[in-house]
Amino acid sequence: MNKLKPKLFSVMKQYTGKQFFKDVIAGIIVAIIALPLSIALALASGVSPERGIYTAIVAGFVVSFLGGSRVQITGPTAAFATIVAGIVARNGMDGLVLATLMAGIILVVMGLLRFGSLLKYIPKTITTGFTAGIAVTIIIGQFKDFLGLTFHSAPVETIEKLLACFESAGTFNWQAALVGVVCLAILIFWPKISGKIPGSLIAVLAGSVMVKVFDMDVNTIGSLYEISNKLPVLSLPAISFSSISSLLPDAFTIAILAGVESLLSCVVSDGMIGSRHRSNMELVAQGAGNVASALFGGIPATGAIARTAANAKNGGRTPIAGMVHSVVLVLVLVLLMPYASMIPMPAIAAILFIVAYNMSEWREVVHMVKKAPKSDILVLLVTFVLTVVFDLVIAIEVGIVISAFLFMKRMADETRIKSWKYADNERDETENDKDSIALKAVPKHTLVYEINGPLFFAATEQFMNITTEPKLCSIILRMRSVPAMDITALDSLQKVHDRCVKNNITLIFSHVQSQPMEMMKKAGFHNAVGMENFCPNIDAALERASLLLAERQS
């Protein structure tokens, strides 16, 4: 997992012509999906449309070539839209290029220092909070184009944009709104008609035809931006100590966001194709991809979960598919980019509405608010509000500080001083423990795991090592030494339980303490597992496992 070796170099040893054909088909399909998204995300980021294509081409190719995942597709994503727009508004394109370059270097250093596993220390409450906040900022930012409003100024902040929408309500353009509503309806209902052709492509074509055929008074990309079909060329930004120091916070935010989203995308794709990514190599590749994107006129890039999933679903199994996706986009850029001038802005806004809705994870937010402890809810809401009202940099910084303080308080509340005695060696210590599992008779086809210490967001990776082989009858989780847990740990326990159910294995809990038990009950997890599978001690848990084994063998 931590090897610094690109996946491409490993998979090519057993590469076949049959797989090459599948990779080419998957790469073409992903390129078709990426085309309208790259244009839309570039415009949402406050840059010209071709820069989104440059990003998908350059960063997509570099990350596929060097990356630690078999199927990762890299390009512009909605997570960067607001922070990129802010940098461009304050510092221009030179500032964005420099911030992206620094972020790329930070990512490379993180990978070389084997920091791939450290990104788990960012709690789920923070990532969920700022993701939902970014989604809201994207939605608010698209009201202008969706409704055809004319602003008297060029607001940058989200709240300013929302106020400008109310102030400009008198400039409402019903023709633009009609195009936007039609495109939005296509994006919502088209997936029910066809899963092969992306709805965003159909929406763009339909909106363009409406505006052209009916000669509608609607802004298009061509009426607002100068379209270029030139290939990206190498260019260096102006660099100074003052610009580096002022852009460093933004660079760290881009790097952390790129790292988290890329590794999350890798985890999702691993589950789809039964592979395992190399996290540190992926960070190095993402860094190199962002450096290359910045030098060739692109914007920040990261692993795109939806495009990566589409790659895996359509047969892509090696980095060749991602490289094909980049080559196809080069052909599209050269041959078809001039036609992008016909795309109406309400169609772009509709696409971004759907992108924001999909990334918002609103169901996850509602679930957390209902089930999580009040401290976790506080972190989520603070991160969400700060992302919308101020910016992502402040939101992440404050969210991490609050999480750290709350975690320290939680640990301090659970810490107890207890008596202890000297033991000659580890074996003597085990023998002095009358409840040691070494002194118990464990039934066949049963595994016992003893968890020691609090379960929180930084410890949940341990659950990945729990074996759920189909031949097992029961797995016992002994939790006598777990004083506390958080919502992220509970989420991991739910995944373990789902794997057990899939393989017809009964999950049994032994000696669950009060705080973890209250969380399980609040979330309804104890009902899913079954109260009969919560035992007061290890003897009762082993007896339960013996009974289940006897029932299975009878």
Pairing relationship of beta strands 474-481 and 302-303 according to DSSP bridges: unpaired
Same domain, 254 and 390: no
User: Per residue in 453-501, pLDDT tens?
Assistant: 777 766 666 665 677 677 889 999 988 888 888 888 888 888 889 888 9
Residue 552, pLDDT > 50, answer yes
Question: Whole-model pTM?
Answer: 0.75
For the segment 99-112, the average pLDDT, to the nearest whole number, is 96
457 in the same domain as 314: no
**Domain end residue (candidates: 346, 366, 386):** 366
Residue 64 clears pLDDT 70, i.e. is over it:
yes
User: Quick one: 210 and 231 in the same domain?
Assistant: yes
Count of all residues that appear for the chain in the document? 554
Neighbours of 178 (CB within 10 A): 17
Decide which of 302, 335, 366 is a domain's last residue.
366
- 178 with 86, same domain: the answer is yes
The CA distances from residue 3 to 71, 268, 269, in Å, are 17, 20, 18
Lowest mean pLDDT among 159-173, 238-252, 369-383, 441-455: 441-455
Mean pLDDT of 240-251: 92
Whole-angstrom distance, CA of residue 54 vs CA of residue 60: 9
pLDDT at 281: 95
Q: Pick from 332, 366, 400: which residue ends a domain? A: 366
**Are 94 and 241 in a shared domain?**
yes
378 with 356, same domain: the answer is: no
Return the pLDDT at 462: 63
Please report which helix (H) or strand (E) contains residue 187, including its range.
Answer: helix 174-193
Helices then strands, counting H and E runs in the chain, come out as 22, 6
What tokens were used for 125? 């409450």
The whole-number pLDDT of residue 30 equals 92
450-459 pLDDT, tens digit per residue, is: 888 777 766 6
Query: Which positions ≥6 away from 521 have C-beta within 8 Å?
Result: none
Q: For all residues of the chain together, what is the average pLDDT?
A: 87
Burial class (CB within 10 angstroms; exposed 0-12, middle 13-18, buried 19+) of 144: buried
Q: Note the pLDDT tens digit of each residue in 292-320.
A: 999 999 999 999 888 998 898 888 999 99
Query: Same domain for 407 and 476?
Result: no
- Average pLDDT of 500-509? 91
Classify residue 37: in a domain, yes or no.
yes
**What's the confidence (pLDDT) of residue 289?**
97
Q: pLDDT at residue 16 above 70?
A: yes
291: Cβ–Cβ under 8 A, 6 or more apart, which residues?
Answer: 100, 101, 104, 105, 108
Tokens of 465: 């090592």
Q: Measured between alpha carbons, how far is 493 from 487 in angstroms, rounded to an integer?
A: 10
Does residue 420 form part of some domain? no
Kindly state whether residues 512 and 396 are assigned to the same domain.
Answer: no
The total domain count for the chain is 3
Mean pLDDT, range 65-86, rounded to an integer: 91
Which residues, listed in sequence order, are joined to residue 446 by a DSSP beta bridge? 474
- Alpha carbon distance 186, 202 (integer Å): 7
What is the pLDDT, as a whole number, of residue 183? 95
Q: What number of other Cβ atoms are within 10 A of residue 436's Cβ?
A: 13
Q: Which of 234, 231, 246 minimizes the C-alpha distance to 98?
A: 246
CA-to-CA distance for 46 and 218, rounded, in angstroms? 19
Output the six-digit token pair for 509: 């809990």
CA distances from 355 to 38, 136, 307, 379 (A): 11, 11, 12, 24
- Output 196 or 202, whichever has higher pLDDT: 202
User: pLDDT, tens digit, for every residue of 336-374?
Assistant: 888 888 999 999 999 989 988 888 878 888 888 888 888
- Beta bridge mates, 507: 475
In a domain, 468, yes or no: yes
Within a domain: 4: no
- What mean pLDDT do residues 109-133 have? 83
Nearest to 323 by CA among 104, 70, 75, 62: 62
Q: Is the pLDDT of residue 86 over 80?
A: yes
486 and 397, same structural domain? Answer: no
Which of 108, 101, 103, 97 shows the shortest CA–CA distance to 51?
97
**pLDDT single digits (tens) 128-148:** 888 888 889 889 989 999 999
Structure tokens at 478: 């002994």
Average pLDDT of the segment spanning 146-173: 89
Helix (H) or strand (E) holding 451: strand 446-452
- 435 assigned to some structural domain: no
SS3 at position 507: strand
Confidence band of 417 (pLDDT split at 50, 70, 90)? very low
Residue 412 — very low, low, confident or very high, per pLDDT cuts 50/70/90? Answer: low
- Both tokens of 320, joined, read 């060749």
Is 406 found in the same domain as 503? no
Say what the pLDDT of residue 419 is: 32
Contact indicator for 460, 454 with CB cutoff of 8 Å: no
Structure tokens at 173: 């353009």
Three-class DSSP category at 480: strand
Q: By CB neighbour count within 10 A (0-12 exposed, 13-18 middle, 19+ buried), where does 14 fall?
A: exposed
- What's the CATH number where 481 sits? 3.30.750.24
pLDDT at 214 exceeding the cut of 90: yes
- Cβ within 8 Å of residue 162, ≥6 positions away: 140, 143
Asked, for residue 95, whether it belongs to a domain, the answer is yes
Least confident of 59-68, 116-125, 266-275, 463-472: 463-472
Is residue 275 domain-shared with residue 360, that is, in the same domain? Answer: yes
Do 362 and 373 fall within a single domain?
Answer: no
- Determine the structural domain holding residue 507 and report its residue range: 440-553
Quick one: tokens of 146?
Answer: 């969706």
Q: How confident is the model at residue 430 (pLDDT cuts 50, 70, 90)?
A: very low
Is 1 contained in some domain? no
Cα→Cα distances 510→229, 513, 532, Å: 64, 9, 11
Q: Which two tokens stand for residue 459?
A: 């410890």
333 lies in some domain: yes
